[in-house]
Amino acid sequence: MDDLLADFVAESREMLDALAGEIVAWEADPADRARLDAIFRFFHTVKGNCGFFDFPRLEALSHAAEDVLADVRAGRRIPDARLVDAVLAIIDRIGEMIEAIETGSEISEFGDEGLIEALTLGGDAPTTEAAAPQEKSNPGGPERSYAGPRSIRLHVDLLDRIMSGVSDMVLARNDLARRLVEMGDESGLQVPFNRLSAVLADVRDAITHTRMQRIETLFAAFPRLVRDLASELGRQVMVELESGDVELDREMIELIRDPLVHVIRNAIDHGIETPAERLAAGKREIGLLTVSARQTGNEIRIGIIDDGRGIDTERLIQKSIEAGTITAEQAEKLTPRERNALICEPGVSTAAEVTSVSGRGVGMDVVRANLERMGGSIMIDSTPGAGTRIMLNLPLTLSIVPSLTVGVGDQRFAIPRSYVEEIVRGGTEEAELAHVGGRLLVTIRGRRVPCIALGDVLRVAGQDARAAKTLVVIRLVGGDQFGIAVDEIIDHEELVVKPVAPALMKTGFYVGTTQLDDGSPILMVDISGIAREAGLIREVERVATSDSEVDADADAVNQLPVLLFTGFDGRRRAVPMSVVDRVETLDASAVQLDGDRSQVVIEGRILPLVGVDDTVEFANGTLELFRLSDGLAEITYGFKEKVDSTQVDRDLSPAEDRPYVAGVALVDGKPVDVIDCHALFARYGRIVRQGELPVCRLPGNDRWFQDFLRPLVEAAGYRVVDETDEAEADLAIASHSRGSAQEHRAGRVIWLRTSREEPPDRAGTIYRYDRDGLIGALRAANAGRGL
């Protein structure tokens, strides 16, 4: 909408500017028909445009002027000086209003009537008087100036030419720089050359931005879109947007909007299941939809990832055969990705029924056609039951890419910086290396990340992969991380990247080529291609499953990767890496210590907390814990200090009768208790889901309840609803004066009072700032429910 408005302002301004000359000419000769027509058209256009927006005054002004000029054109009125003055005054007024719209300021309504009146034949009010008050009425307002930002419309082709010209200039400048260095200082050209460089940098910067718009402007509409679609379709969807600072060609943003919206619709309609289905499948009730963007050499990659049911490929193939898109024999030979791609064939839809949102079998084919028309492509990966990842690859007409240049062996390569998360030194404390089953793993802040040597993947000789001294940590679209070991980081540069020849593009390892300052060509690597080659792209990022255990088995048969930590009792323990979902730091307020029944609240869920006792003291008011998962249930395990990740022998020495200890392993010659996850989950593991949270009703329109009380209630493990929720709540909290328990539709009601002392007629109420009392009551209500 803002864009539309900006267009309106820009267009009106252009017309006003163009009109300036006409007005003067018309003033000199009011009978000049051509001028009159031009001015008439101006009013007509402004009036028409006002229909799109809510600018009644602007519309009234232009309408009045248009009417009068129509009379003049029809010969019903003779333009006299007074009429000309009146029309000019209106033009001026419109100019002011447009300026006010642009700056978002208000302009006094006073004077409009007078201006319109001045147009009428018998109007005696001289225009000057009508116009005069308006100037006074706007003291301190924005000065009317024509120095504000102006705009012109350019053809995109022209910008393309300028841009490629500037790109070439940069390269020519680099070449020149090199030659100057070769000549030494005697040339006397250094100073003018530096000036040229600075100017060129400025120009390049300006040109770069002429066509670019942050992709965030496109993404901004998605939360609302997702919310509306989700409620229409009865889904619960959380959307995560990651724009990766990507800037996209303005034109491209318009072209990509519809396809992207369509893919998101599909993800919500076909991908993400209803809350009930999700619960039945052992997933969180709320589906997760991630939309992220990354820039590589000459491509923008937009990933739309959902954790829904995935694509039913069998059905898809069946449908495709029915539709005559492929034959059964052809279907046999398809790779999984090619099977998924069938969804983009015309007339194929796996939706069992047609909804208002999707399922009509038109759409994905149009999406693909649109993408291909702009030189892009679409790639679909899906794991049944776990989710779908759709990648839209878009070409980038603009070709200046911030990059990292790295050295491997005696060769150099460029890596697009938007992929680079950080650079670490391998083999140091911050990034410990481990070789597991022929794969290099690096541990960065408790996260184990697979590593590959760039030299290995590209088969460049001379790289010592095992040393992995310098690691470039990459984050892929979709969040997968991995490290790329290189020999050296050469530079951060803004490189003018040009497409590589198709034969090299086809290898999947390169996205572009560029030249360094010394004029030597350098290839920009395709990070996704490298990751795919090295087997680092998982089909779809999944919620913790037992797969990781299988992987670990395959990697090291006799070694168990574990995380070492010190418990609150001071003992060193180890927890198998495969059950650790993540390490988290929680605010103490989210922790309830209660002996064997301690709990934490994470992301709106109550999880059992073990590894702590009631005497635990929180350092800095926070608790660090592991989130352990067996794929269905989750348990949290608090610890005092995380030590290290390491491997222990799977053959553990038996532990004498300590609870939840599978056995003792030796680490650096010292015994370490390895946690018995089976026993732990057998005792504490219960599948806690949001749907099972007790429900508490709070008055929705009361700021105090929503702002002050709600966090406390949520921390106590309740899901908070308000009066609009029809269902019976487990608990309601209300001011003592308001209503009965029936009215609050709750099993129990906690009544709050505003006075500290308990008045006799209000027995059983709780003072609203009695925190302990409130927490006690909340917990009692929860316990009464039998949880």
Shortest Cβ 175–another protein spacing (Å): 6
Per CB under 8 A, 462 contacts another protein:
no
Using CB under 8 A as the binding rule, whether residue 174 contacts another protein is answered as: yes
Instruction: Determine which residue in the list 459, 670, 703, 756 makes contact with another protein, applying CB under 8 A.
Output: 459
**Residue in 158, 191, 503, 763 binding another protein, rule: CB under 8 A:** 503
| Residue of 134, 138, 514, 599 that binds another protein (CB under 8 A) | 514
**Smallest separation (angstroms) from another protein to the CB of 480:** 22
Q: Is 313 an interacting residue with respect to another protein (CB under 8 A)?
A: no
Residue 404's φ and ψ, nearest 5 degrees, are -115, 125
Does 148 sit near another protein (CB under 8 A)?
no
Nearer to another protein, 165 or 759 (CB): 165
Q: How far is the CB of 462 from another protein (least distance, A)?
A: 12
510 scored as a contact of another protein (CB under 8 A): yes
User: Within 10 Å of residue 167's Cβ, how many Cβ atoms?
Assistant: 19
* Closest CB 326 distance from another protein, rounded Å: 18
| By CB under 8 A, residue 644 contacts another protein | no
Strand order in the sheet with 641-649: 641-649, 559-566, 572-576, 670-675, 661-667
Q: Could you say which residues in the range 41-80 bind another protein, by CB under 8 A?
A: none
What SS3 state is found at 490? Answer: strand
* Binding track, positions 536-575, relative to another protein; x by CB under 8 A: ----------------------------------------
- 605-610 and 580-587 beta bridge pairing: unpaired
Q: 733: part of which helix (H) or strand (E)? A: strand 729-735
Tell me the closest approach of the beta carbon of residue 532 to another protein, in angstroms. 13
- Of 168 and 422, which has the nearer Cβ to another protein? 168
Site string for another protein, 401-430 (x = CB under 8 A): ----------x-------------------
Determine, following the binding rule CB under 8 A, whether residue 519 of this chain makes contact with another protein: yes
The span of 228-236, 516-524, 593-601, 612-620 binding another protein (CB under 8 A) equals 516-524
Applying CB under 8 A, the span of 292-300, 512-520, 583-591, 778-786 interacting with another protein comes to: 512-520
Nearer to another protein by C-beta: 358 or 514?
Answer: 514
Query: Is beta strand 481-486 parallel, antiparallel or unpaired with respect to 447-453?
Result: parallel
Q: With contact defined as beta carbons under 8 Å apart, do 192 and 208 qualify?
A: no
* Residue 21 neighbours by CB distance under 10 Å: 11
With CB under 8 A as the contact rule, the residue among 40, 42, 509, 660 that binds another protein is 509
Residue 502: its H or E element: helix 502-505
User: 203 or 321: whose CB is closer to another protein?
Assistant: 203
The packing angle between helices 33-50 and 2-28, to 10°, is: 160
| Residue 5 binds another protein, judged by CB under 8 A | no
Told to check if 175 binds another protein by CB under 8 A, we report: yes
Nearer to another protein, 164 or 190 (CB): 164
Is residue 515 part of the contact set for another protein (CB under 8 A)? yes
The residue (of 424 and 522) whose beta carbon lies closer to another protein is 522
Q: Does residue 107 belong to the site contacting another protein (CB under 8 A)?
A: no
What are the backbone angles phi and psi of residue 543, rounded to the nearest 5°?
Answer: -65, 155
Cβ atoms of 433 and 387 within 8 Å: the answer is no
- The yes or no reply on residue 494 touching another protein (CB under 8 A) is no
User: Based on CB atoms, which residue is closest to another protein, 79 or 512?
Assistant: 512
Distance CA 416, CA 512 (A): 10
Contact between 763 and another protein per CB under 8 A: no
Q: How many residues bind another protein (CB under 8 A)?
A: 29
Q: Name which of 59 and 175 has its Cβ closer to another protein.
A: 175
Nearer to another protein, 460 or 643 (CB): 460
Half-sphere exposure of 210 (CA within 13 A, CB side): 22
Strands 695-697, 729-735: pairing kind: parallel
Give least dist CB 343 to another protein, A: 24
Q: Which of 98, 304, 391, 523 binds another protein (CB under 8 A)?
A: 523
Q: Least Å distance between CB 517 and another protein?
A: 11
Tell me if 521 contacts another protein by CB under 8 A: yes
Nearer to another protein, 522 or 749 (CB): 522
Tokens describing residue 534: 């090295």
∠ CA 170-174-180, nearest 5°, is: 140
Closer to another protein by Cβ: residue 51 or 502: 502
Q: Which stretch binds another protein (CB under 8 A): 52-60, 209-217, 463-471, 504-512?
A: 504-512
Return the amino acid letter for 144: R
CB of 508 to another protein, least distance (A): 9
The span from the CA of 264 to the CA of 270, in Å, is 10
Question: What are the DSSP calls for 160-175, one per residue?
Answer: HHHHHHHHHHHHHHHH
168 contributes a contact to another protein by CB under 8 A = yes
The set of residues, in sequence order, having a beta carbon less than 8 Å from that of 241 and lying 6+ positions away, is 216, 219, 222, 223, 290, 291, 292
What minimum distance in Å lies between the beta carbon of 510 and another protein?
7
Asked if residue 247 lies in contact with residue 212, where contact means CB atoms within 8 angstroms, the answer is yes
Phi then psi for 163, rounded to 5 degrees?
-65, -45
One of 84, 125, 162, 171 touching another protein (CB under 8 A) = 171
- Nearer of residues 364 and 523 to another protein, judged by Cβ: 523
Does 206 bind another protein (CB under 8 A)? Our answer is no
HSE at residue 369, side-chain half, CA atoms within 13 A, is 7
504 part of the interface to another protein, by CB under 8 A? yes
Considering the rule CB under 8 A, would residue 513 count as an interface residue with another protein?
Answer: yes
Q: Are 472 and 403 in contact (CB under 8 A)?
A: no
Q: Is 354 in the site for another protein (CB under 8 A)?
A: no
Instruction: Give the Cβ contact number of residue 682 at 10 Å.
Output: 10
By the rule CB under 8 A, 502 interacts with another protein? yes
Please state, in angstroms and rounded to a whole number, the distance separating the CA atoms of residues 497 and 298.
7
Please state, in angstroms and as integers, the Cα–Cα distance from residue 212 to each residue in 127, 205, 246, 401, 494, following that order.
45, 11, 10, 13, 16
The amino acid at 475: R
How far apart are the C-alpha atoms of 777 and 147, rounded to whole Å? 65
- DSSP code, position 498: B
Among residues 80, 154, 155, the alpha carbon closest in space to that of 119 is found at 80
Stretch that binds another protein, among 126-134, 497-505, 575-583, 620-628 (CB under 8 A): 497-505
Query: Which residue reads 């991630």 in tokens?
Result: 290
DSSP for 123-148 reads --S-HHHHHHHHHHTSTTS----S-S
SS3 (DSSP) at 263 = helix
Q: Which is closer to another protein, CB of 36 or CB of 500?
A: 500
Binding of another protein at residue 122 (CB under 8 A)?
A: no
CB of 559 to another protein, least distance (A): 32
Minimum distance between the CB of residue 377 and another protein, rounded to whole angstroms? Answer: 18
Report whether 208 contacts 398 (CB < 8 A).
yes
Return the DSSP state at 556: -
In whole angstroms, how close is the CB of 503 to another protein at the nearest point? 5
What is the rounded distance in angstroms from the CA atom of residue 313 to the CA atom of residue 262? 20
Compute the C-alpha angle 761/763/767, nearest 5°. Answer: 110
Give the nearer residue to another protein in terms of CB position, either 179 or 678.
179
Task: Give the sign of the dihedral formed by CA 448, CA 453, CA 458, CA 459.
Answer: negative
Binding status of residue 501 toward another protein by CB under 8 A: yes
Q: Which two tokens stand for residue 278?
A: 């999700």
Query: Is 460 a residue that touches another protein (CB under 8 A)?
Result: yes
Q: Which residues here bind another protein, judged by CB under 8 A?
A: 168, 171-172, 174-175, 411, 457-460, 498-504, 506-507, 509-510, 513-515, 519-523
